[in-house]
Amino acid sequence: MTAANEGPIGQPVNRVDGRLKVTGRATYAYEHCDVERMVYGYILGAAIARGRIVEIDTREAERAPGVLHVMTHRNAPNQPSFGPPVTPTPAETFTRARPMLATADVHYYDEPVALVVAQTFEAARAGAGLIRVRYATEQGEFDLRSRLEQAYTPVRTNAGFETDSAMGDVETVFPQSAFTVDVRYSTPYQSHNPMEPHAALAVWSSDGLTLYTSTQTLANTQGGVAATLGIAPERVRVVSPYVGGGFGAKLIPHADCILAALAARELERPVKVALTRQQMFANAGHRAAMVHQVRLGADRDGRLEAMGFDVWSATSRVEEFCEQTAIFARSLYAAPNRLTRHRLVRTDLNRGEWMRSPGEAPGMLAFECAMDELAVRLAVDPIELRVRNEPEVDPERGVPFSSRSLIECMRTGAERFGWERRNPTPAKIREGRTLIGMGMAAAIRPNYLGRFSAHVAISATGRVSVRLDMTDIGTGTYTILTQVAAERLGVPMSAVEVRLGDTRFPRTSGSGGSWGASSAASAVDAACLQLRSLIVEAANARPDSPYENANPDDLRFVNGTVAIGEHRERLTDLLGRIAPAGLRAEASVGPMGDAYKDFSQHSFGAHFAEVSVNIDTGEIRMRRMLSVIDAGRILNAKTARSQILGGMAWGIGAALLEQTVLDGRYGHFVNHDLAEYLLPTNADIADMDVVFIGEPDLNANPLGSKGLGELGVCGAGAAVANAVYNATGIRVRDFPLTLDKLLPSLESIELTAR
């Protein structure tokens, strides 16, 4: 079955779960309440960043109205130790025990030091306010930039990538190049802030624990909770049918899950715990602050001779996390001499975590701005510079790309965006008191096919049910899986019911790494094709079958009928005759044989941005933005467009607004709410458009689709920053580009103009 069949796949179908969501009937984690004797937990966080609890007085809290239990390190159940801080293998990362309230030690600000459980949320919160804690405080270390000399080399980066890579001799060739750029960029701490906060409802029974929570990957939560509780994973059922965003913050269990489970087991009644928005900043991970050193050396024709990319990241002293920030540079541009390195600096903060497009988002922000700087030095158009450095094969692996349309993305975008109108000389285009500029950047994101299983059944009446523990984090998973099943079985979408988010369903790798849509759809596709084979097999078991010796691929399942040659009949008639009890199939997919060994698998794109900068105030305004995307076959044109638009908005935020401000004295994130943590709003993002190349990549998976969700982030911020430079001639290398960083130099532009 090829990817070229006509049908629902690829169409801009509305979300099948849309009505449930807009009418409030889609149940999110904190909304599960159909259990008896449910009570509420509230977490009290530490008021210091490093030290030890000397005394904790819970007597007044225990006597407060409605309070049922106060859990601290003094009475918390025994749990396994967390283990060494070094980065484990990916499988160990997701399933390691995550003990809570296990010791008197405090490792980061707002780390849980107590859980109060009460009849109501308000009573639990009030009780937490009555706890008195005395600490022995130790001096913490929080700053990254002033401590780069204390950096160390981790064993591996996130996802198991090699920490360093080297080809040729960058140190010798770079200084000898005709044109060089040697620049240092910095990116700040950032926080995920999905719309739905972290929450969990824990319910124990004779069968074990049922955990209703908001998670991107049920298997990770099941494994992590089971390891912490010291029980078999199969005794933990995780239910997460709807997830209000994740961005990587919900790939592992956090304090809400562990504490709810511990308290529910102690009290022998259901316990619900949620992190407040403020608590999420310290307890639900963040993107680490980073320093990026980019060295680019080119000959007089603009061809890279040497490329070096060094990244220093902050990491927790307790649990190491090394974001794979420089990995993308190993596959993006050709250069015979290459070097990428990752280093970490220990801090007394909570661990960094996966945040949408880990690695590429901050790395491309720096690297693609450095490429723009090289284009300026060479007096070459930024697109032309990238075209001249287009590799024939993966520069470091030496294998061909499964598909690569980066040049087409850039040229298509240039034509549609009106790139020819861009003045390459900065600060030359004005409209009154504003300067106008354009910028662009490339995008790249690895493509993965995760290990996914799916169950598909069809009844004699033609109703199709699809089951897998995959999650829908707002990306449209319910819809695209409905489209795949409907097309492959030739039934209307209204005949398909997709159920997700329950560990009782076949196991998947969940939503993350931009593999969710392609992997889940491939598993459903495989199960549907297996079901078609079962239909043919059952039909052939009957005498005088018109399908005798037929290959399942020869049958056409279209519009509720089954046809081969001139023979056609209604699917329900056939099923009623051969399988009155219905048929079911289960199938699994994973990395396709040698395809991931023999090919370099990536999605690509190009971003274009136009901005205005007010000369008097330094305010930056987006005027318009375009992204051209090469992500293989598009499974749903509408939800895919929404994904890229969201990524573009994220990139705008990273370039202009987003930063979690750390108080370097106390290790406290100052702007830990949505009043002061600035995100792009509709008024900030202006006119945005998306174009898909849409060519299937059958080396990626049978459907020809590739990872999409995070690609919209990759390089988007760099396009905005490069536009700001083109508008003003001011190169700010410390993100975000807030107006205070532009104002001192804008005055000189105005004086020159006079």
Report, as residue numbers or ranges, the catalytic residues: 710
Q: Under DSSP, is residue 59 helix (H, G, I), strand (E, B) or coil?
A: helix
Closest to 650 in 3D by CA, of 212, 245, 74: 245
Calpha distance 586→579 (Å, rounded): 17
Residues in the chain: 754
DSSP letter string, 90-115: HHHHHHS---SS-SSEE-STT-EEEE
What CA–CA distance (Å, rounded) separates 604 from 693? 10
Q: With CA atoms as reference, report the closest residue to 4 among 487, 628, 638, 601.
A: 487
Helix axes 716-728, 739-753, angle to 10 degrees: 30
Report the 10 Å Cβ neighbour count for 226: 22
Residues 566 and 546: beta-carbon distance below 8 Å: no
Q: Which amino acid belongs to residue 662?
A: L
What is the Cα–Cα distance from 628 to 691, expressed in whole angstroms? 5
Q: In angstroms, rounded to a whole number, what is the distance separating the alpha carbons of residues 518 and 469?
A: 15
Return the exposure string of 727-741: e unless at least 16 CB atoms fall within 10 Å of the residue's CB, then b. bbbbbbbebbbbeeb
How far is the CA of 80 from the CAs of 227, 351, 496, in angstroms?
A: 8, 19, 44
Enumerate residues 6+ apart whose C-beta is below 8 A from 166: 338, 339, 340
What's the CA angle centered on 642, arms 637 and 644, to 5 degrees?
95
The angle formed by the CA atoms of residues 180, 183 and 185, to the nearest 5 degrees, is 155
Encoded tokens for 223? 């494994």
Cα angle for residues 634, 525, 450 (degrees, 5° grid): 75
Helix (H) or strand (E) holding 552: none
Round to whole Å and give the CA distance between 678 and 671.
Answer: 9
Conformation bin of residue 612: beta by default, left when phi > 0, alpha when psi is -120 to 50: beta
Do the beta carbons of residue 260 and residue 211 sit within 8 Å?
yes
